[in-house]
Amino acid sequence: MSGVASGFTVIFIVVAIGYLLGRTRALGDQAVAVLARLVFFVCTPALMITSLSTNDLSVVFSPTLAVAAIAAVSVGAIHFLVVRVLWRRAIPEATIGALSSSYVNSVNLGLPIAIFVLDDASFIAPLLLFQIMLYSPIALAMLDLTALDRAHRGSMWQTVRTPLTNPIVIGGLIGLALALSGLALPPAVFSPLDMLAKASVPLALLTFGLSLTGVQVFKKGATPRRDIALAAVLKMALMPLIAYLLAHYGFGMTGEALFAQVVIAALPTAQNVLVYATRYGRGEILARDTALVTTVLAIPVIALLAVVLA
What is the CATH classification number for the domain harbouring 61? Answer: 1.20.1530.20
Q: What is the DSSP string of 151-173?
A: GG---HHHHHHTGGG-HHHHHHH
The dihedral built from the CA positions of residue 82, 83, 86 and 90, taken in this order, carries a sign that is: negative
Q: How far apart are CA 107 and CA 170, in angstroms?
A: 19
pTM score above 0.75: yes
pLDDT in tens, 18-52: 999 999 989 988 898 899 889 889 988 898 888 88
CB within 8 Å of 5: residues ≥ 6 apart? none
Residues paired with 90 in a beta bridge: none
Instruction: Give the pLDDT confidence of 258-292 residue by residue, as tens digits.
Output: 988 999 999 999 988 988 898 888 999 999 999 98
Q: Note down the domain range covering 188.
A: 2-309
How many domains is the chain partitioned into structurally? 1
